[in-house]
Every structure is written in C-alpha cells, then in structure tokens.
C-alpha cells in the first residue's frame, strides 16, 4: 500500500463529497423535485454541460481498457479512439435546439418523456424503460468492476473491500445530490481528467527518452505498431471506420447523452459546450491513447490491459503526482456510474412508477422513492460486480451498442421526420436490439460479419424498420 498515492485520492473523494452536499443544499430552489433531482433544474451552463458530457461518456474503457488496448495494438487503436472527437459537437448540434425547445414544451425530464410525448404510445415508453434498465445495468456493472479494480491495484486491498469503498462513495453523493451534484462533480472530474492525462503523457515521454526514441523502439519491436493496421495487421479500415457509429455519431442515441442535451440553460450555454466538449474530448482521447502506446517501450510485458495506466503512472511519476493523475480514471468511472445510476433510477421512478403505477403520488412519496430506488440499485450493482466478468471494455460496448441500435432513430427521426410514428419507433427499437444481440453473438463465434463492428448493421436495419414501419401505418404528419 502506498500512502503517498492514497492521500491525493482521498482528498479527491472528500472534495467530491463536499460538492454533493453543496448541490443538495441548492436543491428545491427552482422547479419541482423531479426537474431538480433528475435534470438539475435545466440550469447547466456551457462549461458544466461540456464537462458532464465528456465525463459521462469518457468511462472506464477510455481510461483503462482503451489505453490498455492501445498498448497492445499500437497506433491503430489510437486512430480508432479518435473517432470520438465527433461526439463533442455532433450530439449537441444534431439534437440541438429543437430537442431543447421540445423537451421544455413537453415538460420532459427523461428521454422517455420525450418519446412518450412524440409517439403517444405506452408500448414505446415501456419498451424504452426496459431497454434502459437492462442495458445500462450491464454498463454500470462494467464500470463498477473498473472502479473496484483501480482501487484494488492502488491500495492492495482485496477486490471486495475496494469495490465496497467505491460503491459507498458513489452512492452517497448521487443519492443525496441528484443530477446537479452529478453534473457539478463531473465538471471537477473532467478538469482532473484533462490535467491528469497531460501530466501523465509528459511523464511517459520523458521516461521513454523523447517521442523519436519511443517511435524507434516501437518500430524495432514490431513495425506494425506504428501503422493504422494494428500489431497483427488485423485492424481493417472497415472495422476501424465502423467505430464512427459505435463511439461517434451513434452516441446520439445514448440516453445518458440525450438527457444532457435537455438540461442546458440557454442556447449560448449549448454553443460554448459544443466547442469545449470537442476540445476536451479530443484532448483526453489523444493523450490517453498516446500514453498507452508510449508505455510499451517504457514498461514492457504488461499482460492485463486495464492495469497499464495505473502501473505506468506509478512507474513514471512521483507517488503524490501519481495519486492526482490516477484520480482521473477514478473520476471518469465515478462520473459515468453516477449518471447511469441516476438514469436507471429515473426510468424506474418517473417512467414506470409515476406514469403507470401511481400517477397521483405526492411530492414527498416521489422524493423518498427516488432516494430509495437509487440506493437499492447501487446495492444490486455492487452485488453483481462482486463476481466481475472479464473483458471490461466489451461488456461496456455491448450496452452502448444495444442502446444506440434501439434509440438512435426514434430520437433523431422523431425530431426531424414528421411522418415518423409509433409503429416505426416500435419496429425500429425491436429490430435494433434484437439484431444487435444476434449479430453480437454471431460475431463472438464467427468473427465480424462484413468486417465491421456489431453495431453497424443493426443501426442500418433499425433505420429501415423505422421508415417501413412508419409508412406502413397511417401516414399522418406529426405537429411538433
């Protein structure tokens, strides 16, 4: 156990708690409880909005799994990771002002509220709630495993104790502070990620004797490491390009991103978030994956990808600085987990309970239930994460792909195509999810169908299903 590393991490945790408490004090200052707890009262400014999007999206896979893969595969994986720059501007520009205006008009607090108002169909709402609860649960579990592993490798505690510390920390501030606490801590966590990755990159470059020396080492070891094709030349252009859908434009269908695009205060905040988000996402992704690649000659022979970043930080930085830098992946994981937790809890409380079980529940009941569900969910995820599945990154991407295939068209075409209707939305969601799971399993067994990531084909199929389903039903334009 390394005290020098732990102190900065503990200070970081305390700071995060403090923010959670401050945010909980602000709660109730405007709007109803639901607006506040699940949406922060639609008051996010540009900086906080950008950071909460980046931090929510930048998860364990960008900070541990991704750089770990870059360590193994080389520059090809960094090329793949840079497809994420597009998310910085694409989600905000495409959903943009129309979504913000409509979600205010419909008084929508969750993504499902929007779908419900747009398609006027309980089936769409219930299916969406099920998809969110099932898929985000697996995403959350993956993130918790990452958080537990990180604390484990830093402290030398057993995995169970490490996970317990992580779970308690996250639960306390999410349960108390709600969306505003999550967004505010995301802003702090985002800032830590930016500084942390920069410091670590510089540390690795110095340890490797400069970039040209590192490049020379890589070429000597295996020239393929510096090509776009990966160490064993298995990264085809088609496969790498298909990540434009999974981690780039497809992100527009992820509920945790969608809910953020209804939370900003003004169009000016959105403009600012657009620029900040692009810059910060690109900066973090570029740095993290370069760190992964550069770590290879500096610290050869690491076989568990997820450990590359903690090990390299401990190796090239003084302990106190390593502690600060390792707060970055910690921040990334926590900020993803807290958003997902809140989202699943809002799906249960708002979209299922309040809509279909007890519409007349009082404010106080809703409040108790929201806190309670958030807490109970946390405990369940904790129990699931105790038996950690391997392949963190793939479990995570499984959830992302499934949600994207389900929601991208009901959201995007629901906004911009007036002939989209509930038949199309249902067809699209069912087709998207079913074909994603089928193709995912097929790819696991037989290699990638058509050489692209599993999400690509379902996104195309669900588009076809949306259009055909909508046109097959009564063709009646929707008045926004």
Residues of this chain that interact with other proteins (CB under 8 A) are: 75, 78-79, 82-83, 85-86, 88-90, 92-98, 100-101, 104-108, 113, 116-117, 210-212, 214-215, 219, 223-224, 226-229, 237, 241, 244, 248-249, 266-268, 271-272, 274-275, 278-279, 282-283, 286, 350, 354-355, 359, 415-416, 479-480
- Please, which residue, 73 or 167, has the CB nearer to other proteins? 73
Q: At its nearest, how many Å lie between other proteins and the CB of residue 227?
A: 6
- Please, which residue, 290 or 334, has the CB nearer to other proteins? 290
Q: At its nearest, how many Å lie between other proteins and the CB of residue 442?
A: 26
Q: At its nearest, how many Å lie between other proteins and the CB of residue 129?
A: 14
DSSP state of 264: B
Distance of CA 66 to the CA centre of its chain: 13
- Please, which residue, 279 or 438, has the CB nearer to other proteins? 279
Q: For the chain, what is the radius of gyration of the CA atoms?
A: 22
- Please, which residue, 299 or 415, has the CB nearer to other proteins? 415
Cβ atoms of 78 and 289 closer than 8 Å: yes
Q: At its nearest, how many Å lie between other proteins and the CB of residue 115?
A: 10
Q: At its nearest, how many Å lie between other proteins and the CB of residue 415?
A: 8
- Please, which residue, 290 or 322, has the CB nearer to other proteins? 290
Q: At its nearest, how many Å lie between other proteins and the CB of residue 183?
A: 18
**Would you tell me how many other CB atoms lie within 10 Å of the CB of residue 438?**
14
User: In 3D, which of 196, 190, 191, 240 has the Cα closest to residue 56?
Assistant: 190
- Please, which residue, 22 or 213, has the CB nearer to other proteins? 213
- Please, which residue, 330 or 467, has the CB nearer to other proteins? 467
Q: At its nearest, how many Å lie between other proteins and the CB of residue 319?
A: 28
Helix-, strand-, coil-residue percentages of the chain, each rounded to 5? 85, 0, 15
Q: At its nearest, how many Å lie between other proteins and the CB of residue 210?
A: 7
Those residues whose C-beta lies under 8 Å from the C-beta of residue 322, and which sit 6 or more positions away, are 4, 5, 313, 314
- Please, which residue, 87 or 185, has the CB nearer to other proteins? 87
Pick left, alpha or beta for residue 301 (phi over 0 → left; psi -120 to 50 → alpha; otherwise beta): left
- Please, which residue, 20 or 74, has the CB nearer to other proteins? 74
d(CA 95, CA 415): 8
Those residues whose C-beta lies under 8 Å from the C-beta of residue 50, and which sit 6 or more positions away, are 88, 190, 272, 273, 274, 275, 276, 277, 280
Q: At its nearest, how many Å lie between other proteins and the CB of residue 444?
A: 27
Cβ atoms of 236 and 28 closer than 8 Å: no
Give how far Cα 319 sits from Cα of 31, 249, 299, Å: 45, 39, 17
- Please, which residue, 137 or 244, has the CB nearer to other proteins? 244
DSSP letters for 323-392: HHHHHHHHHHHHHHHHHHHHHHHHIIIIIIIIIII-TT--HHHHHHHHHHHHHHHHHHHHHHHHS--S-H
Q: At its nearest, how many Å lie between other proteins and the CB of residue 417?
A: 11
Tracing tokens 């349960």 back to the chain, one arrives at 175
Cβ atoms of 87 and 97 closer than 8 Å: no
């Amino acid at each position: 156990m390394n005290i020098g590393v732990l102190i900065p991490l503990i200070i970081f945790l305390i700071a995060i708690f403090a923010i959670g408490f401050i945010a909980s004090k602000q709660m109730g200052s405007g709007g109803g409880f639901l607006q506040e707890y699940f949406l922060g009262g639609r008051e996010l400014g540009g900086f906080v909005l950008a950071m909460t999007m980046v931090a929510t999206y930048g998860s364990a896979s960008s900070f541990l799994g991704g750089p770990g893969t870059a360590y193994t595969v080389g520059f090809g994986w960094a090329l793949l990771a840079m497809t994420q720059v597009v998310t910085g501007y694409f989600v905000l520009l495409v959903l943009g002002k129309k979504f913000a205006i409509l979600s205010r008009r419909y008084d929508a607090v969750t993504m499902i509220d929007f779908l419900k108002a747009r398609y006027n169909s309980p089936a769409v709402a219930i299916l969406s709630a099920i998809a969110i609860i099932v898929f985000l649960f697996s995403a959350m579990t993956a993130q918790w495993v990452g958080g537990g592993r990180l604390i484990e490798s830093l402290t030398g505690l057993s995995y169970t104790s490490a996970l317990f510390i992580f779970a308690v920390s996250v639960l306390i501030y999410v349960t108390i502070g709600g969306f505003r606490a999550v967004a505010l801590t995301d802003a702090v966590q985002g800032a830590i990620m930016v500084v942390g990755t920069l410091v670590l990159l510089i540390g690795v470059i110095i340890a490797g004797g400069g970039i040209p020396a590192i490049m020379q080492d890589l070429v000597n070891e295996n020239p393929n490491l510096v090509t776009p094709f990966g160490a064993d030349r298995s990264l085809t252009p088609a496969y790498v390009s298909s990540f434009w859908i999974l981690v780039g434009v497809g992100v527009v269908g992820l509920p945790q991103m969608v809910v953020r695009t209804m939370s900003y205060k003004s169009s000016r905040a959105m403009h600012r978030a657009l620029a900040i988000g692009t810059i910060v996402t690109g900066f973090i992704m570029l740095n993290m994956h370069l760190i992964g690649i550069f770590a290879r000659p500096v610290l050869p022979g690491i076989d568990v990808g997820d450990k590359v970043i903690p090990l390299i930080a401990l190796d090239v930085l003084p302990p106190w600085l390593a502690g600060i830098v390792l707060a970055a992946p910690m921040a990334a994981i926590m900020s993803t987990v807290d958003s997902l937790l809140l989202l699943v809890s809002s799906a249960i409380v708002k979209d299922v309970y309040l809509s279909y079980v007890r519409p007349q529940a009082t404010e106080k009941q809703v409040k108790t239930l929201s806190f309670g569900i958030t807490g109970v969910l946390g405990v369940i995820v904790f129990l699931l994460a105790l038996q950690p599945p391997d392949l963190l990154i793939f479990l995570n991407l499984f959830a992302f792909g499934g949600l994207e295939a389900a929601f991208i068209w009901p959201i995007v075409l629901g906004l911009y195509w007036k002939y989209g209707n509930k038949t199309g939305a249902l067809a699209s969601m069912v087709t998207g999810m079913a074909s994603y799971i089928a193709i995912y399993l097929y790819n696991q067994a037989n290699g990638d169908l058509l050489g692209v990531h599993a999400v690509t084909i379902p996104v195309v199929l669900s588009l076809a299903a949306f259009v055909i389903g909508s046109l097959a039903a009564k063709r009646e334009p929707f008045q926004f």
